[in-house]
Amino acid sequence: MALKIKFSRTGRKNTPFFRIVVAEEHSRRDGTPVALLGRYNPREADNAKKLEVDDEKLKYWISVGAKPTEKAKSILKTHLAKS
């Protein structure tokens, strides 16, 4: 079972809101996640509130072997650089 850190889309049409989740690699985008790590709101004006992530959970899942998708990696990289 390969795990990925990826986005699960919620919100309404034309108003995207994403949960950052750990899920199996071949599961559906909005399928049942293994763990919830945080959330990402691309429409938020305040950059501090745009991305909320539990750093301890994120570091744990990366240490266990979960690999982020390309999009998740690019967004989380900026978050980890600030921390």
Q: Enter the CATH code of domain 3-82.
A: 3.30.1320.10
HSE (side-chain half, CA atoms, 13 Å) at 37 = 26
Residue pair 28/13 in contact (Cβ under 8 Å)? The answer is no
Residue pair 3/66 in contact (Cβ under 8 Å)? The answer is yes
The whole-number pLDDT of residue 83 equals 65
What is the Cα–Cα distance from 26 to 3, expressed in whole angstroms?
Answer: 9
Q: What percent of the chain has pLDDT over 90?
A: 65
Q: With 0-12 CB in 10 A as exposed, 13-18 as middle and 19+ as buried, what is 74?
A: exposed
What is the average pLDDT score of the chain? 90
